[in-house]
């Protein structure tokens, strides 16, 4: 079954990061937002891997879904002789694209299982495309379920204000969003006071993507520099900090965009609740704690300059880890489509995920 572009758009309700056409994948180039809405057509797994590496597409679930489509494209382009070796090589290449978001490896594992059961190239083309579409659809539906769960936890009697970090919306997922899905849902229920969006240095996912996505969908947003979060939380208006995740370990530690850990410390200090919203594909029960998560380091140029304009002396030494780990003890709730873990610890995590 090939996903039609119409069905992708209508079920995802507005903004989408990718469009699947059966023989090609279109990706919205997130590097150019908000200045330009430019779609890139990718026809092979190598192109998808490159787009993930270069952050044309980013956000843990969206990386996993794109990789799944990459495997489907590899099957379509494989020759009739060495088709199995070619698909395996494509999966290896996709697995090398980014290290931290476990959704990438989770999606490749699912695609690998389907691939192992295929006995002909034609079967591989059909079944791998079907599986990729399924992964995409399931992610969207997980987001809708998580938004419901999150509202039950927050249980706001009147509109509340929240603060978020990075971009966790339709651009980062199969549609609707994780933390941003919760914010969307609050808005739909007229329960959203104000959303403060951290700009999210250095790549500016907050200002370039979250502010764009929310404004596009008519959801009012207040953008703030990351350094303003402390005084915003001290002000008392914000009741919840709501963020996504790239990997959650067996003890409830959470890797997410750099700066999330400092927000969690601030939230604890100011008695503001801290919620992590992520599909179960982000949970990695094979790792005991956050210290085991590989944290991606990206080029110093991402900090030293912006679009070629210097922001620092040329060649200055830069430390640029793009994720950090928030310890479970700073988290009030981890919300997934399978349910909610309150005050996460290894026992409560096992209760839901084993």
Interacting residue ranges for ligand MRU, rule: CB under 6 A: 58-61, 101, 166, 168, 172-173, 178, 205, 244-246, 256-257, 322
Cβ-based nearer residue to ligand MRU, 118 or 254:
254
Q: Known binder of ligand: residue 60?
A: yes
122's CB contacts (< 8 A; 6+ apart) are none
Closest approach, Cβ 255 to ligand MRU, in A, equals: 8
Evaluate whether 341 touches 307 at the Cβ level (below 8 Å): no
E strands, 126-281, where?
A: 160-164, 192-198, 221-224, 238-243, 247-249, 254-257, 273-277
Closest approach, Cβ 131 to ligand MRU, in A, equals: 21
Cβ-based nearer residue to ligand MRU, 256 or 326:
256
Q: Known binder of ligand: residue 329?
A: no
Cβ-based nearer residue to ligand MRU, 76 or 273:
273
Cβ-based nearer residue to ligand MRU, 246 or 253:
246
User: Please, which residues bridge with residue 325 across strands?
Assistant: 255
Closest approach, Cβ 256 to ligand MRU, in A, equals: 5
Closest approach, Cβ 346 to ligand MRU, in A, equals: 23
Catalytic, out of 139, 198, 246, 284: 246
Rounded Cα gap, residues 158 and 33, in angstroms: 34
Across 243-257, b (16+ Cβ under 10 Å) vs e yields bbbbbbbbbbbbbbb
Q: Known binder of ligand: residue 98?
A: yes
Rounded Cα gap, residues 202 and 2, in angstroms: 37
Active site residue 246: yes
In the bound state, the residue with its beta carbon closest to ligand MRU is: 244
What does each C-alpha distance from 300 to 148, 202, 217, 316, 321 come to in angstroms? 40, 10, 34, 9, 10
Evaluate whether 127 touches 118 at the Cβ level (below 8 Å): yes
Closest approach, Cβ 247 to ligand MRU, in A, equals: 9
Cis ω before 60 (30° cut-off from 0): no
Cβ-based nearer residue to ligand MRU, 2 or 265:
265
Residue numbering of the annotated binding site for substrate: 58-60, 98, 205, 256-257
Q: Pick out the residues of the known binding site.
A: 58-60, 98, 205, 256-257
Q: Give catalytic residue positions.
A: 246
């Amino acid at each position: 079954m090939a996903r039609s572009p119409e069905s992708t758009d209508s079920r995802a309700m507005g903004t989408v990061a990718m469009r699947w056409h059966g023989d090609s994948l279109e990706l919205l180039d997130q590097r150019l937002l908000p200045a330009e809405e430019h779609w890139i057509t990718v026809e092979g797994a190598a192109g998808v891997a490159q787009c993930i590496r270069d952050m044309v597409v980013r956000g843990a679930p969206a990386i996993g879904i794109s990789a799944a489509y990459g495997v489907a494209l590899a099957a379509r382009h494989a020759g009739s002789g060495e088709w199995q070796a070619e698909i395996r090589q494509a999966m290896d290449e996709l697995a090398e694209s980014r290290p931290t978001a476990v959704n990438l490896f989770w999606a490749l594992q699912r695609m690998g299982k389907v691939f192992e059961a295929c006995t002909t190239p034609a079967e591989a083309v059909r079944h791998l495309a079907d599986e990729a579409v399924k992964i995409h659809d399931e992610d969207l539906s997980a987001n809708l379920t998580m938004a419901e769960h999150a509202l039950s936890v927050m249980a706001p009697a009147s509109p509340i204000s929240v603060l978020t970090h990075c971009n966790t919306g339709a651009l980062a997922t199969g549609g609707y969003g994780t933390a941003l899905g919760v914010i969307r849902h609050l808005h739909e229920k007229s329960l959203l006071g104000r959303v403060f969006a951290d700009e999210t240095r250095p790549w500016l996912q907050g200002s370039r993507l979250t502010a764009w996505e929310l404004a596009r969908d008519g959801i009012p947003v207040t953008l703030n520099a990351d350094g303003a979060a402390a005084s915003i939380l001290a002000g008392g208006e914000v009741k919840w900090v709501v963020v996504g995740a790239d990997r959650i370990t067996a003890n409830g530690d959470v890797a997410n965009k750099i700066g999330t850990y400092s927000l969690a410390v601030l939230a604890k200090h100011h008695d503001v609740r801290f919620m992590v919203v992520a599909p179960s594909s982000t949970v990695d029960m094979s790792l005991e704690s956050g210290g085991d998560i590989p944290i991606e380091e990206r080029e110093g140029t991402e900090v030293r300059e912006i679009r070629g304009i210097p922001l620092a002396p040329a060649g200055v030494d830069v430390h640029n880890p793009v994720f950090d780990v928030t310890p479970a003890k700073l988290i009030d709730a981890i919300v997934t489509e399978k349910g909610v873990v309150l005050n996460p610890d290894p026992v409560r995590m096992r209760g839901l995920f084993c």
